């Protein structure tokens, strides 16, 4: 049986409505010649790359009048969408440049250099004002990063203390960590409340910024009521074993000393 007409349906894979026209990317073609005769776009020459094949060119020529009827309106909608997209992108850039995140997070600078860079690059006075008014907080973050970046051991020590309850997920990426030890436990562990300056990473006196030999750390935790020797509790021997075993691996890399958990001392760190 020969068919001379069909209903062409476009099955969208994404949605992006704009003034009554669907601009979502990705689609498939279905041609219905009869209720039980449905085929895909390959019968009119549509391939995976949407090349202008001879079959597709013939199909478009046959439907030339229909195409010209709808083409001007579609072009106008596309023009309006592109103009809106350009304006939207420019508005975003005027408020916050696309280089902002890379300038702040990918290229660490001290507070003065960072403020100078942002004042030069950012046009929006609200962004400039935010950094000028918060230079002390930025300086504190810079000091934290400076300490943590001193060595692999200092990085791991910091990450360990801010992620102590989920040591299996410790990453070497500093930007991925949160102050979980303090943030999640300070309101339920009374010892943390009492000794906030020793555990809150926002204090320069926090344990996160002081690498200690095991004996000193055990005394430090015992004095603050956080170390238990019965295998249960907030911090116990097993936790410290993991901590110092990893530190030994870092500090004594390639040495036979790595096999001993208790060898790390103040001179080595």
What pLDDT, on a 0 to 100 scale, did the predictor assign at position 232? 57
The per-residue pLDDT for range 73-89, each reduced to its tens digit, is 999 999 999 999 999 99
What pLDDT, on a 0 to 100 scale, did the predictor assign at position 60? 92
Whether the per-residue pLDDT at 269 is higher than 50: the answer is no
Both tokens of 48, joined, read 């995976």
pLDDT classification of 159: cutoffs 50, 70, 90: confident
Contact by Cβ (8 Å): 93, 82: no
Contacts of 130 (CB under 8 A, 6+ apart): none
Is the model more confident about 207 or about 164? 207
Rg value, the chain, Cα: 32
CA-wise closest residue to 60 among 47, 72, 46:
46
Question: Exposure of 118 by Cβ count < 10 A (0-12 exposed, 13-18 middle, 19+ buried)?
Answer: buried
What pLDDT, on a 0 to 100 scale, did the predictor assign at position 108? 67
Please compute, for residue 130, the number of CA atoms within 13 A of its CA located in the half-sphere on the CB side.
Answer: 9
Whether the per-residue pLDDT at 187 is higher than 60: the answer is yes
Across the chain, what does the average pLDDT equal? 81
Rounded Cα distance between 227 and 164, Å, is 14
What pLDDT, on a 0 to 100 scale, did the predictor assign at position 175? 36
What pLDDT, on a 0 to 100 scale, did the predictor assign at position 184? 77
What pLDDT, on a 0 to 100 scale, did the predictor assign at position 129? 83
Report the C-alpha dihedral over residues 39, 45, 50, 52, rounded to 10 degrees: -150
Evaluate if pTM is beyond 0.85.
no
Mean pLDDT across 192-212: 88
Is the model more confident about 65 or about 167? 65
Contact by Cβ (8 Å): 27, 11: yes
Rounded Cα distance between 259 and 249, Å, is 8
Among 84-93, 110-119, 120-129, 165-174, name the most confident range: 84-93
Contacts of 183 (CB under 8 A, 6+ apart): none
What pLDDT, on a 0 to 100 scale, did the predictor assign at position 233? 58
The per-residue pLDDT for range 14-72, each reduced to its tens digit, is 889 998 888 888 899 999 999 899 999 999 999 988 899 999 999 999 999 999 998 99
Whether the per-residue pLDDT at 188 is higher than 70: the answer is yes
Residue 259 C-alpha from the chain's centroid: 36
């Amino acid at each position: 049986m020969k068919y001379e007409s069909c209903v062409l349906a476009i099955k969208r894979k994404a949605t992006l409505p704009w003034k009554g026209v669907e601009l979502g990317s990705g689609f498939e073609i279905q041609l219905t010649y009869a209720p039980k005769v449905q085929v895909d776009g390959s019968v009119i020459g549509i391939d995976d790359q949407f090349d202008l094949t001879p079959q597709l060119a013939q199909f478009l020529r046959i439907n030339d009048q229909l195409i010209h009827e709808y083409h001007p309106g579609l072009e106008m909608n596309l023009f309006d969408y592109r103009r809106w997209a350009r304006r939207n992108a420019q508005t975003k850039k005027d408020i916050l440049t696309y280089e902002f995140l890379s300038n702040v997070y990918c290229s660490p600078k001290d507070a003065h250099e960072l403020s100078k860079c942002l004042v030069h690059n950012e046009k929006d006075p609200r962004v400039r004002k935010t950094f000028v008014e918060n230079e002390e907080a930025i300086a504190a973050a810079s000091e934290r990063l400076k300490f943590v970046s001193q060595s692999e051991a200092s990085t791991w020590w910091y990450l360990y203390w801010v992620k102590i309850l989920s040591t299996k997920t410790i990453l070497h990426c500093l930007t991925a960590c949160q102050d979980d030890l303090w943030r999640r436990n300070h309101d339920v562990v009374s010892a943390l409340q009492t000794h906030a300056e020793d555990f809150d990473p926002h204090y320069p006196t926090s344990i996160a910024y002081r690498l200690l030999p095991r004996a000193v750390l055990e005394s430090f935790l015992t004095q603050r009521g956080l170390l238990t020797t019965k295998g249960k509790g907030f911090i116990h021997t097993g936790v410290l074993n993991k901590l110092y075993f990893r530190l030994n691996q870092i500090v004594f890399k390639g040495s036979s000393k790595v096999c001993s958990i208790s060898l790390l001392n103040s001179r080595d760190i």
